[in-house]
Amino acid sequence: MNIIDMHCDTIMHFYDGEHLNGMEGTHINLEKLVQGNCLAQCFAIFIPTNEAAEHHGITDSPEEYFDKAYAAYLREMELCKDTIRPAYKAEDILKNHEAGFISSILTVEDGVTLRGRIENVDKFHEMGVRMVALTWNFENSLGFPQSKDPEKHMLGLKPFGIEAVLRMNEIGIAVDVSHLSEGGFWDVARHSTKPFAASHSCCRSLSDVSRNLTDDQIRAIGNAGGTVGVNFATNFLRPVTDWKTDRFVSCDIVIEHLRHMMDVGGKDLPALGSDYDGMGAEMEWRDYGGYQMLTDRIADAFGDEMAEKICWKNALRMFNDIWK
């Protein structure tokens, strides 16, 4: 089964000087992408700020970090060009596949470097960015992140956030609401003229964490023609007392979230958004190289036609609608 995975944090390893071909101890490397039957992988430039920067030992400014991470991504695409090629349109993914190549889609996790300047949205597009998560876990010029505090969780987009969403719609960048406050989510739903995505989120009704989506949010994404990529983080999938020690993720619990997404948002909604190399789950299928164990189980649960929609066709259809 082909795979389009909507989110990973593997670029952080490129930034640290590691190479896609030959990396060890990561969920993703070049060999695992091939083994897992990758059609296209969304590689996110996650920009650590505040406590996250301290945790990762990052002293660069967000702009400095972005530039270095982007250069490292381009380096790896050049080094691995015999196996993986960038994709900028949905048709590029299919053309690359026909030619025997995996596709790489560049995304950004946290629009902090936009700094309230609309020309920076266009710069992202010119650099090949095709999806942007408006926030990570901190406030920026676009809006506010999800929060356990109900009042903060309902804070909406800032005026620049609305302007940026509309510009992304115009030029062909997918708007990603994973990590966004619920208030910001509903602003995206009201203002976006194109489908939008939650690239790596799960169902709040099955695991009550603020990063997960309520049924109303899932329904809104489905009504807009968007997709939700199920995240493989343990506490997103099931309630845990301590996600650092209780880390096992089964195929069955992923399927439970996919089934709920489908029941609430429709058959065109569910997709895959692993968060590989950005979370510490111990998955039954291990890593990207074992992805086919999960996809086989998805096919057993839903049939081959629906499994193809989940594993790649829903994401490809959405990207095609946005990137035209």
Is residue 299 predicted with pLDDT exceeding 90? yes
Residue pair 279/295 in contact by the 8 Å Cβ criterion: no
Provide the pLDDT for residue 53. 87
pLDDT averaged over every residue in the chain: 97
Residue pair 105/87 in contact by the 8 Å Cβ criterion: yes
Provide the pLDDT for residue 313. 98
pLDDT digits (tens, 9 = 90+) for 16-32: 999 999 999 999 999 99
- Give the residue-averaged pLDDT of 215-223: 98
**Cα distance between residue 182 and residue 254, in whole Å:** 23
Provide the pLDDT for residue 27. 98
Q: How confident is the model at residue 55 (pLDDT cuts 50, 70, 90)?
A: confident
- Give the residue-averaged pLDDT of 161-170: 98
**Cα distance between residue 206 and residue 214, in whole Å:** 10
**Cα distance between residue 100 and residue 225, in whole Å:** 29
**Cα distance between residue 87 and residue 1, in whole Å:** 20
Provide the pLDDT for residue 148. 93
Is residue 73 predicted with pLDDT exceeding 90? yes
Q: Is the pTM of this model over 0.95?
A: yes
- Give the residue-averaged pLDDT of 246-271: 98
Is residue 262 predicted with pLDDT exceeding 90? yes
Q: What percent of the chain has pLDDT over 90?
A: 96
